[in-house]
């Protein structure tokens, strides 16, 4: 026996309700350092909604952060997502970039289906 605890494979938190308030709580639990970005983007979405008389910005905001929480609540999923992002942005290998982009899409689809 090595004395190491097994890596958790389940979610760190349950998927929250699909509301800005519930998502903010979830983001704070998953990565408090991201809350300032969350708040700034929410303020911008609301400003844009008021200026343009449309609900599209707040809806897009909720969809974005819903996906973010769906990915971030599984540490292994988040690590793979970040690795794929790195490959897409840094690799000189076109096939590797395409494969990583495809995997990003799959990870996001899985994250929002949960």
User: Model's pTM, two decimal places?
Assistant: 0.86
Of 13, 18, 2, 7, nearest to 73 by C-alpha is 13
Q: For residue 104, give both structure tokens.
A: 């990003």
Residues 56, 64: contact at Cβ < 8 Å?
Answer: no
Q: Are 39 and 45 in contact (CB under 8 A)?
A: no
Structure tokens at 112: 């929002």
The full DSSP string for 35-46 is HHHHHHHHHHHH
Asked if residue 2 has pLDDT above 60, the reply is no
Nearest alpha-carbon partner for 69 in 18, 103, 106: 18
Q: Which of 2-6, 23-27, 88-92, 94-98 has the lowest mean pLDDT?
A: 2-6
Tell me how far apart the alpha carbons of residues 12 and 76 are, in angstroms, rounded to a whole number: 11
Averaged over 28-57, what is the pLDDT? 98
Q: Is the pLDDT of residue 3 over 80?
A: no
3-state helix, strand, coil in the chain (%, to 5): 75, 0, 25
pLDDT value at residue 9: 75
Of 28-32, 36-40, 41-45, 108-112, the poorest mean pLDDT is in: 108-112
* Residue among 8, 36, 37, 13 nearest 26 (CA): 13
Confidence of residue 1 (pLDDT cuts 50, 70, 90): very low
């Amino acid at each position: 026996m090595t004395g190491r605890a097994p890596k958790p494979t389940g979610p760190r938190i349950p998927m929250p309700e699909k509301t800005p308030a519930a998502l903010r709580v979830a983001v704070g639990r998953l990565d408090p350092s991201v809350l300032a970005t969350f708040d700034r983007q929410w303020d911008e979405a609301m400003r844009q909604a008021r200026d343009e008389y449309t609900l599209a910005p707040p809806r897009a905001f909720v969809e974005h952060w819903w996906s973010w929480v769906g990915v971030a609540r599984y540490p292994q999923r988040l690590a793979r997502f970040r690795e794929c992002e790195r490959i897409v942005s840094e690799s000189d290998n076109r096939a590797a970039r395409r494969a990583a982009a495809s995997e990003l899409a799959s990870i996001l689809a899985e994250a929002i289906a949960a």
